[in-house]
Amino acid sequence: MAMWMWTKNYTKGRSGYSIVAIVPHISCCSSIGAIDNTFGPYSSRKVSTHYAVSDSVTHQYVSESDTAWSVGNWPWNCKTISIEHVGTTANPPSKACLDRGAQLMADIAYRMGWKKLTLGSNVRLHREFASTACPANMDYQWEIARANVYLAAKWAGKKKEEKLYYPGQVKKGSKGNAVAVLQGLLNMRNGAGIKIDADFGSYTEKCVKAWQTKVGLYPDGICGAKTWPTLLGD
């Protein structure tokens, strides 16, 4: 259910800590694109989040097994999974956005083996850890209650977790965010040294072929359903 977006601003692993809570945030951004600019591959700010949700999409920037720079407190960065929501103090996150956040919370909780989400226990707030008003007037209580409805249904039906899906196929001539994500992953995974310009040129193609050869795929230079998972660690 999450679209993979990537960022360079995170720390590999959890530094020996276990994940104990989810932190819902108000992003102070009025669109998912504005959140991508703050937390995504183009951002130069030293901040990140695992997920962001809008009314209609869920974006993921940092793997749950890695540490996002999200709550302004090192041990708590290591112990939490953050979810940013589209919304500002003037226009707080909509019910549709909170509902999407609730489904994501339930997914995470189910995978963690948590039967119920409880504020102060496995749901914590940014303002507990740093000097911030976040989550301000966002209705996180409604979101937690809603998440518990989804979570109870998951435990009752033992529903399979939904699979992460990947950006679509990109190849020479492709442009855009998926290309930037690909370039960042090739640099990170294979020291490709690509300038991240979101433009799939000859050098990016060469680096994709080198990666495909390395992981035992046919080196056609096209990054699609087989190549994406190898880059993302599945």
Question: Which residues in this chain contact Zn ion in the complex, by CB under 5 A?
Answer: 25, 126, 134
Least distance (Å) between residue 181 CB and Zn ion: 24
Q: Which is nearer to Zn ion, 25 or 59 (CB)?
A: 25
Q: Which is nearer to Zn ion, 69 or 200 (CB)?
A: 69
Q: Which is nearer to Zn ion, 109 or 125 (CB)?
A: 125
Q: Which is nearer to Zn ion, 134 or 192 (CB)?
A: 134
Least distance (Å) between residue 126 CB and Zn ion: 3
Least distance (Å) between residue 120 CB and Zn ion: 17
Could you give the angle at which helices 140-157 and 95-112 cross, rounded to 10 degrees?
A: 50
Least distance (Å) between residue 35 CB and Zn ion: 12
Tokens of 221: 């230079």
Residue type, 77: N
Least distance (Å) between residue 1 CB and Zn ion: 22
**For 215, left (φ over 0), alpha (ψ -120 to 50), or beta?**
alpha
- CA distance linking residue 198 with residue 201, whole number of Å: 9
DSSP, residue by residue, 25-60:
EE-SBSSHHHHHHHHSTT--SS---SEEE-SS-EEE
**Which residue shows structure tokens 């999974």?**
81
By the 8 A CB rule, do 225 and 171 touch? no
Q: Which is nearer to Zn ion, 134 or 223 (CB)?
A: 134
